[in-house]
Structure 1
Amino acid sequence: MKRSRTAIRRSRLAYGVGAVAATLALTAAAQTPASAQPFSADPAPARSAPANSASTDPAPVRSATAPVPTPEALAPAYADCPQDLPTGADRTKWRCEVTIAYGHVKLGGIDLPDIKPITLVHAEGPLPDGTFGQVMGTVRAEPTPVPGAPGLSVRTEYGGYADFLSSGAMDLKFRLVSPFLNRACAIGTDENPVKVRLSKDAPSTWLSQDPPLVRFPAHDDAFTTPAATRCGPLGRAINDRFALPAASGDSLATFTVYYTFKTYDRLAGS
């Protein structure tokens, strides 16, 4: 007996739900962060390179694999430096910062102990009125496979807001990538992002002064994680398997952060 097209579609959908649900089991391992210090993107003494050599006592590395990037390796990211600076910005004082973060991210039941490095590019500098300003550039990251869930990956994306000058605030979205999911499927949206507010765990360490390379560890263990949305028929299975939405205390972001910078008058093409 031939089945109707509707029955066939339902059968395929049921197969897809079963296939994904069968691979969405993983063990969520919580991590207790070290006591935090108030976040500062770059303390005042480090706004310009110090006269003494960089400290040989490195800040603690919270990720199991956090290779020290060289400024040369980070150089291609300067192509993302924002060019629309505020009116009256002094290009000899405004700088483009390239930041790369290695670390551990836990979103409810999605545990990524070695998330793919997140590269952020933004500009900051003094405004004509004497205050400091910033302009966001880009957030880029490769998809990170979810342990225990073959075929499912998570890609970090910009969520529409950042404050690197004072609060360590960063709104993010985490795109869920799978052949079974809609391309729009994500944890966090522009209207309801994942609001990470990083606190430093140790003072910044200058690893190099010329070219500049700075490192510090930071974490947030108090943010909430919204449910995955726009995932199509598998949305409920995703949220059930990964205990989403997740309350404060059930998620974690802990990073070893490196950054380098150039003033705009030293960028290629300036």
Structure 2
Amino acid sequence: MKKSTAARPGSSPVRRVAAVAGVAVLAATAAVCAPVAAYAAPRAVAASAADFSDCPPLPDGVDPARWRCEVHAAAPRLTMGKVTVALAPITMTHAEGPMPDGGDGQVWGAMHSTPTAVPGGLTGTPAGDRSAALGLAIRPEYGGRSDFYTGRFSLRFRLLSPLLPHGCTVGARAPVDFRLKRSGPSTRISQDPPVIAFSAYDDTFTAPAAEDCGPLTGPLNHRLGLPATTGNLMTYDATYTFKTYDQLPAKEVRRLR
């Protein structure tokens, strides 16, 4: 899908010079403040598509046999601003089914993810890949809103580096909202257990600037190309499995109650 290359407003010569100076500060800081331990490389998420331990408690008054717990597993590819990265696998667990009044109900369960290294690190240059101090990783986190009937959910993206404070996040105050559109029909891979594959994407979301990143906030946003109102893309190739609540193991049912 073609990405817009239009110039972003407000990119004055003064701002460009400031941004370049900020990158130089990053490199200089790394030279004298190298961490004792190198930044850990991303590793695969431990939760599997067959793990129902995150199934949430059901609303009062609903029929467990008509509610199912779904576990999604996906490795999305994200283009956000100037950065494109294949995110480490994530899992999302939620429950859905009919409410006593006949409406559609959903209950959020949990999300698991691990960091993914951003090519070029903090500087966007080979030095960012070679130096542990200049390394940068991104980790998606649940943003507090989800609707799996319509494909809408929100995420925050935590930015991790030895030179950044822990709270440095894209979407810290207003999470990134996604409205996934299916790329084609779902495919059933297995009947027992049920496993369904699907692909979806969103090329309309807006990516806000990174926040709470300390003195490097400005240079970091320049390096990432944030905020970005156009040219962003999330592709979401996933599988999911499910069990109705009357099929969950007895130990899980007791925990839910």
Q: Deviations over 1:55-107 (max 9, x none)?
A: xxxxxxxxxxxxxxxxx94223x111112x21111111111100011231011
- Aligned twin of 1:34: none
Of the structure 1 ranges 13-22 and 124-133, higher mean CA displacement relative to structure 2 is found in: 13-22
2:148 to 141, 152, 164: 164
- Give the deviation of 1:187 after TM superposition: 0.5
**Separation in 2 of the partners of 1:182 and 1:16?**
16
2:76 to 95, 98, 103: 103
Evaluate the alpha carbon distance shift between residue 20 and residue 188 of structure 1 in structure 2; reply closer, same or farther with a 3 A threshold.
farther
- Aligned twin of 1:142: 114
Q: What is the aligned length?
A: 203
Evaluate the alpha carbon distance shift between residue 90 and residue 179 of structure 1 in structure 2; reply closer, same or farther with a 3 A threshold.
same
Q: Which has the higher contact order (CA 8 A, sep 6+)?
A: 1
Q: Is the 1:157–1:175 Cα contact (8 Å) retained in structure 2?
A: yes
- Aligned twin of 2:26: 17
1:174 aligns with 2:178: no
**Separation in 2 of the partners of 1:256 and 1:81?**
22
- Aligned twin of 1:187: 170
Q: Deviations over 1:11-38 (max 9, x none)?
A: xx9986235899xxxxxxxxxxxxxxxx
**Separation in 1 of the partners of 2:165 and 2:187?**
42
1:128 to 80, 83, 100: 100
Evaluate the alpha carbon distance shift between residue 188 and residue 14 of structure 1 in structure 2; reply closer, same or farther with a 3 A threshold.
closer
- Aligned twin of 2:88: 116
Q: Is the 1:16–1:180 Cα contact (8 Å) retained in structure 2?
A: no
- Among all aligned residue pairs of Structure 1 and Structure 2, give the percentage whose two residues are the same amino acid: 48
Q: Is the 2:23–2:219 Cα contact (8 Å) retained in structure 1?
A: no
**Separation in 2 of the partners of 1:80 and 1:107?**
29
- Aligned twin of 2:49: 74
**Separation in 2 of the partners of 1:162 and 1:19?**
42
TM-score (norm 1): 0.71
- Give the deviation of 1:135 after TM superposition: 0.4
AA in 1 matched with 2:55: C
1:92 aligns with 2:101: no
Q: Deviations over 1:232-257 (max 9, x none)?
A: 11111110111100013x21100111
**Separation in 2 of the partners of 1:124 and 1:17?**
47
1:245 aligns with 2:207: no
AA in 1 matched with 2:82: G
AA in 2 matched with 1:169: R
TM-score (norm 2): 0.74
- Give the deviation of 1:137 after TM superposition: 1.1
- Aligned twin of 1:5: none
Give the superposed CA RMSD: 2.1
Q: Is the 1:21–1:238 Cα contact (8 Å) retained in structure 2?
A: no
- Aligned twin of 2:137: 153
Q: Is the 1:21–1:237 Cα contact (8 Å) retained in structure 2?
A: no
Q: Give 5+ residue unaligned stretches, structure 2.
A: 1-21, 32-46, 122-128, 130-134
